[in-house]
Structure 1
Amino acid sequence: MVEILGHHHISMLTKDAKLNKVFFVEKLGLRLYLKTVNQDDPSMYHLFYGDEVGSNGTSLTFFELKPMGQTHKGTNAISRIGLLVPDEASLSYWKDRFEYLNVDHDDVGIYNGMMSLKFRDHEGLEMVLIPNNDRKIPADWRKNRYTDIPEEHQIMGMGPIEFKINDITSMKNFLENDLNFKLVDSESELVYTIDQEGLYSDIILKEEEGQKERPGKGSIHHLALAVKDEAELNKVKELLDNKEVLHSGIVDRDFFKSLYYRHSHILIEFATDGPGLPYDDVEQLGQQLDLPEFLEPRRQEIEDNLEPI
């Protein structure tokens, strides 16, 4: 059985890296801890936001695609990102902040049986703040010193991730039988988790008929699930090989190793817990363009083709 540790990161599409940075750093108070490029197309930025050091499970990443149009929302897609805040008092703080900063948001309400605050970025990316209260979180999550948001209200990391699928049967079987997710009792939705004491690994399955989503700016590209190391990643590869399904094979991303697999039209990445970023000095994170070793010989060309952000 493959051992999943929780969420690793989640990746989205943006049309404008500058505006994206303004929203997620200046408005949401996350830290731009890694500024790099799409390794498959180094003409585009790949930006990583998270806690102070980019701990696994806190990272929202964005690929910049300047020609990208509007998302046509639909099914067979990752439809919403849950973000954890400390408690219900934080929802009031964020509602006031959103109103002051003109961030598109709903009133405080109920999401999956929990108090919540739904909101959207400037490109329509759907997110929801959920109080963690006294639930368990990964021990390595850290507060961010590089924001004006008080520590008691900062976004902590990723919570429940919502999938919309026109037939959830196959995804249910994959989560339960292959990845060892457990079904959580829920009033309205099917919720699967690795750890019933926390929300940091939850996946919400919603069955919804209709047209398949057509991605654009503000759409969610893939969810990455964390595994301990390359040996565990090889277990994922063996599992998928035995099923005789298509997958990427193991890909070295320099900062971690990955394998990609599309299930029910949804792209899922399995990513190793390390090695992480090569920095001892936290101050350096996100300050320069970081490139994997194989792209370093092209640094000048790549930097010349990127618009500074």
Structure 2
Amino acid sequence: MYNIPGHHHISMITKNASKNNHFYRQVLGLRRVKVTVNQDEPSMYHLFYGDKTGSPGTELSFFEIPLAGMTHRGTNAITKIGLLVPTVDSLLYWQARFKEYGVEHSEITKYVNHTALLFEDPEGLRLALLVSNGAKVAHWETWTKSEVPAEHQIQGMGTVELTVRKLDKLASTLTDLFGYKEVSRTETSAIFQSLEGEVFGEIVVKSLDGPSEKPGRGSIHHLAIRVKNDKELEYWDEQVRARGFHSSGIVDRFYFKSLYFRESNGILFEIATDGPGFTIDGNIDTLGENLDLPPFLEDRRTEIEANLKPIEEYE
């Protein structure tokens, strides 16, 4: 059996690509590593932010849906994203930065056993900065042109929170199917790690009855977990089907290959390969500066560009 080495990326919905671009680049200091389109609906932007190259485990991605309404929070949803920072001093830096930019945030607190600063983006997406205590995605690279000093930069994804009605059902999928370790449990929550002791593959599952979340702007569409290569992806496709889940089958996304399935609570998971990565069609120095299209959409570039509103850059 193969191991899941951690998170690959996580995908959200934004109503406005320009405002989203401003927050994640100028405020959070991430690199925009890819401007592309939703390959299934190319009239829609798909933006990726991360480290210098958009390494697996650092990628936050957003689909722009201009007509997106409010998110009505509820259960059976992915409900919070943890982002790793190096030290408690980093949290103090971010606390001051959030005050300067008017970002809604908490005091320094504890979240899933991590020293943390909870905050929301302008569309209500719930996030947390977590002190990594030296843990980070091994291949994370500093983005030297970031608005944020290197010693305080976000170093990839940490704990991801899922809220579901049937905790045990999701627990079984994570442990029995994917080999995650259950490292703690209370009456209403449990913590799982893809690699025991490592936060960059950590998932906290909370139990909550009630209506399901109605997605909108600031909601999380799916979580992608990592596999190394095509061979491992084929193995997991077989395992997902053997458990009785419906698999999308393997889809070539050009920057990586993926499959998608929904677990018993309706949470959408993607399993994605590490490569080939975002430099396959871009120079490392100019990543994310222009619209990149996978080869099968290139002959539609004129049409696609005509349907996309240019992304504004705010000071």
- TM-score, L = length of structure 1: 0.97
Q: Which runs of 5+ in 2 are unaligned?
A: none
Which residue number corresponds to residue 161 of structure 2? 162
Name stretches of at least 5 consecutive residues in structure 1 with no aligned partner.
Answer: none
Counterpart of 1:295, as a letter, is L
Deviation at 1:150, TM superposition (A): 0.8
Distance 1:138 1:111 in 2: 20
Q: How does 1:46-195 map to 2 (within 5 A)?
A: 46-135=46-135, 137-185=136-184, 189-195=189-195
Does 187-196 or 50-59 show the bigger shift? 187-196
Deviates more, 1:47-56 or 1:276-285: 276-285
C-alpha offsets along residues 161-186 of structure 1, whole Å, 9 cap, x if unaligned?
Answer: 00000111111111111100001136
Does residue 217 (structure 1) correspond to residue 231 (structure 2)? The answer is no
Whether the aligned pair in 2 keeps the contact of 1:52 and 1:146 (CA below 8 Å) is no
| 2:257 is the alignment partner of 1:257 | yes
Question: Comparing 265-274 with 106-115, which one deviates more in the overlay?
Answer: 106-115
1:273 Cα deviation (Å)? 0.9
Match of 1:200 in 2: 200
Quick check: 241-250 or 187-196, which moved more?
187-196
Using the TM superposition, give the Cα deviation of residue 280 of structure 1 relative to its aligned residue in structure 2, in angstroms. Answer: 6.7
Q: Alignment partner of 1:106: what SS?
A: strand
Partner of 2:276: 275
1:297 to 292, 296, 299: 299
List per-residue Cα deviations over 1:37-79 (Å, max 9, x = no partner): 0000000100000011101000000000000100000000000
Partner residue, 1:37: 37
Contact 1:279 1:285 survives alignment (8 Å): no
Q: Name whichever of 266-275 and 191-200 sits farther off.
A: 191-200
Structure 1 runs of 4+ with >6 Å offset: none
**Contact 1:83-1:158 within 8 A present in 2 as well:** yes
Whether the aligned pair in 2 keeps the contact of 1:112 and 1:189 (CA below 8 Å) is no
| Matched residue SS, 2:214 | coil
Which stretch shows the higher mean deviation, 144-153 or 120-129? Answer: 144-153
Separation in 2, partners of 1:164, 1:83: 18
Distance 1:130 1:60 in 2: 16
What is the aligned residue count? 308
Give yes or no for contact 2:191–2:203 (8 Å, CA) kept in 1. Answer: yes
In the alignment, the residues of structure 2 paired with residue 89 and residue 81 of structure 1 have an alpha-carbon distance, to the nearest angstrom, of 21
- How far, CA to CA, are the matches of 2:281 and 2:45 in structure 1? 20
CA RMSD after TM alignment: 1.3
- Percent identity among equivalent residues? 46
Larger mean Cα displacement after TM superposition, 139-148 or 37-46: 139-148
SS class of match (2:246): coil
Give the whole-Å Cα distance in 2 for the aligned partners of 1:12 and 1:240. Answer: 24
Q: Which amino acid aligns with 1:227?
A: V
Separation in 2, partners of 1:299, 1:235? 35
Distance across 2 between alignment mates of 1:138 and 1:18: 28
Q: What do residues 120-147 of structure 1 show as CA deviations (whole Å, max 9, x unaligned)?
A: 0000000000000133x33210111121
One-letter amino acid of the structure 2 residue matched with residue 269 of structure 1: E
1:307 maps to 309
| Deviation, structure 1 residue 279 | 5.0
Q: Output the amino acid matched with 1:266.
A: I
The DSSP-based 3-state class of the residue aligned with 1:283 is coil
Q: Is the contact between residue 36 and residue 292 of structure 2 (CA under 8 Å) also seen in structure 1?
A: yes
